[in-house]
Structure 1
Amino acid sequence: MKIAVIGAGLAGLTCAGQLSAHGHSVTVYEKSHSAAGRMSTRETELGGFDHGAQYFTARQPAFQRQVAAWRKSGLVDLWKARFVTLEAGVTTVAGRSSQRFVAVPGMNALGRHLAKELDVRTGQRVTRIESYHGGWLLRVSAETVAIEASAGPFDAVIVALPADQAVALLEAVPTMASQAGRARMAPCWSLLLGFEQELKLGFDGAWVKNSRLAWIAHDASKPQRRPGEHWVGHASGEWSAEHLEDDPERVKEKLLRAFHSATASDVQPVYAAVHRWRFAQAVEPLPSTCLWDPQLRIGACGDWFAAGLDGAGRIENAYLSAAALAESFAA
């Protein structure tokens, strides 16, 4: 079967890889210039910054087995970090919880590995899915081409994008588009900071209360990272939504002040940048595992499905959703 997968984040790459392993011809379309989605790492002169997903946990046996395989292959390692809660200048040590894993040497390394054996077309944005003689055609735009082109026909299409983006592409199947529209995702502004001198904050990751920032992490504390005082902060969903269209320089200024306030440190960074994620976290997930229409052969997967977990927006949700959709082809 000839299948198109739209989106080269973890969900899209997982689904594509499993379909390819079962003998299908799979083509992955990705609007960005690299695979990984929100498991991204920004490379700078100071080293890499994991400015998207920070880590992941494994709760379901199926994902635990996959993580174990990744660890055996040297793709993933355990982040043995010191976690705290920060509020009004007071630090509280966080209680024990699940093990936290990271890809090495950066979060995007896992996406690059999964994409290695796949036909991934980066820099190509799918703008429309059209029915065509029992199959599907894609309308595709690229920065290097002045006009849109058609791709296909395909026997099946998988949409592995954030829910808000999936809705527009699923217009060809109104019922499915309506279902995807029930999920709600929150944005996030990320802050990237590099310092010449050690801050000596006494922790590696912190959940911040009553602040513009909801999370800060010493990125260099993760295994196989380049040494240095590299920090990543994530603004809260509420603050990010309120300031979604603000000038990035203004956002950087505000979040840097929030970082200094939360850490009680006035050391100025030698590197500072922000990144806007429009669809960062599923705050109202769909209770199902994925969407799939066996007659029309079109479906959707991603971290905006609960996939049997309590909550959504995790890397585990993306994996379980994608694996379930791939299994639907054999059903």
Structure 2
Amino acid sequence: MQIAVIGAGMAGLTCARQLATHGHSVTVYEKSDSAGGRMSTRETELGGFDHGAQYFTARQPAFQRQVATWCRAGLIDLWRARLVTLDSGVAIAAGLSGQRFVAVPGMNALGRHLAQDLDVRTGQRVTQIESYHDGWLLRVSAETVAIEASAGPFDAVIIAMPADQAAPLLAAAPMMALQAAQARLAPCWSLLLGFEQELRLGYDGAWIRNSRLAWIAHDASKPQRRPGEHWVGHASTEWSAEHLEDDPERVKEKLLKAFHSATGSDVQPVYAAVHRWRFAQAIEPLPSACLWDPQLRIGTCGDWFSAGLDGAGRIENAYLSAAALAESITA
């Protein structure tokens, strides 16, 4: 079949690769200028900042096998981080078990690998899916082209996007659109900080209580990263939602103040930036692995499906959801 996949994050790329392995002709459309989704790394003159997904774990056997394959290929490595909980400036050992993995040399490296040998068309936003005889046409816009264009026809369409963005595109499958609309995703403001001086905080990552920031991590503590004092912070879902439309400079000022307060450090950064993720974490996932209509030949997958796990929003959820959808199609 000729299959269109909309979204080049972990879910879209995983589904596309598995479908291509089974002999299907797959075209991936991605609105951003690069693949990987929230497995993102911002490159600066100081080095990279993993300002999206921080790490991932592997719980289900199917994903554990895939993680082992990536490890053998040198695509990922263990992050042997010293993790704590910060409460009123006091560091409490987190005491958490389990392995945490990161892509090397940055989180975006895994997305680049998954996109290899696939027809991935970046900078192209799909705005509508239209029925065409026994297949589908896509309406596609790009900043470099003044008018929208049509792409297709395709025998099947896969939407691998956050539920809030997937639901409008699923208008041709109303029941599926209603299901997607039931998932609820929360935003997240990310803070990126670079320092000339060592902070010597004594930990590599911390969950923070009673703060605008919910998490901070020392990026340079991850394997194969450029040395330096590079920190990433994630604001809490509640604070991010409340300040979603705030001016980025104001957000940066507030989150930098929260970083100083939580860590007890008054060292000023030489680099500071923020990034807004509108759909960062699934807080009400759908209790299934994916959605697929074999008559219409349209489906959706992503980290907003539970996919047999407790909770959602993880890289593992995205992988398992995409694998389940690819299996449903090839079956």
TM-score, length basis structure 1: 1.00
Match for residue 208 of structure 2?
208
Match for residue 87 of structure 2?
87
SS in 2 for 1:99: coil
Q: How does 1:231-246 map to 2 (within 5 A)?
A: 231-246=231-246
Distance 1:157 1:240 in 2: 32
Deviates more, 1:90-99 or 1:273-282: 90-99
Match for residue 296 of structure 2?
296
Deviation of residue 329 (structure 1)?
A: 1.2
Match for residue 149 of structure 1?
149
Match for residue 225 of structure 1?
225
Count matched residues.
331
Runs in 1 of length 4+ with deviation above 2 angstroms?
A: none
Distance 2:238 2:320 in 1: 28
Deviation of residue 248 (structure 1)?
A: 0.1
Deviation of residue 134 (structure 1)?
A: 1.3
Match for residue 7 of structure 1?
7
Match for residue 72 of structure 1?
72
Match for residue 140 of structure 1?
140
Matched, 1:181 2:181: yes
* Percent of residue pairs identical: 85
Matched, 1:261 2:257: no
Match for residue 165 of structure 2?
165
Deviation of residue 191 (structure 1)?
A: 0.1
Distance 1:329 1:84 in 2: 43
Match for residue 314 of structure 2?
314
Deviation of residue 97 (structure 1)?
A: 1.7
Letter in 2 for 1:46: L
CA contact (8 A) 2:19 2:330 kept: no
SS in 2 for 1:181: helix
Distance 2:87 2:254 in 1: 18
Deviation of residue 90 (structure 1)?
A: 1.0
SS in 2 for 1:258: helix
Deviation of residue 96 (structure 1)?
A: 2.8
Distance 1:96 1:278 in 2: 29
Distance 2:302 2:63 in 1: 15
CA contact (8 A) 2:185 2:280 kept: yes
Q: How does 1:31-110 map to 2 (within 5 A)?
A: 31-110=31-110
TM-score, length basis structure 2: 1.00
For 1:53-81, what per-residue CA distance to the aligned partner results, in whole angstroms no more than 9, with x for missing partners? Answer: 00000000000000000000000000000
| Structure 1, unaligned runs of 5 or more | none
Distance 1:96 1:5 in 2: 37
Deviation of residue 98 (structure 1)?
A: 1.4
CA contact (8 A) 2:299 2:325 kept: yes
For 1:116-145, what per-residue CA distance to the aligned partner results, in whole angstroms no more than 9, with x for missing partners? Answer: 110000000000001110110000000000
Matched, 1:323 2:323: yes
SS in 2 for 1:308: coil
Match for residue 190 of structure 2?
190
Match for residue 278 of structure 1?
278
Letter in 1 for 2:130: E
Distance 2:253 2:191 in 1: 10
| Structure 2, unaligned runs of 5 or more | none
Match for residue 250 of structure 2?
250
Distance 1:208 1:132 in 2: 52
Distance 2:269 2:206 in 1: 19
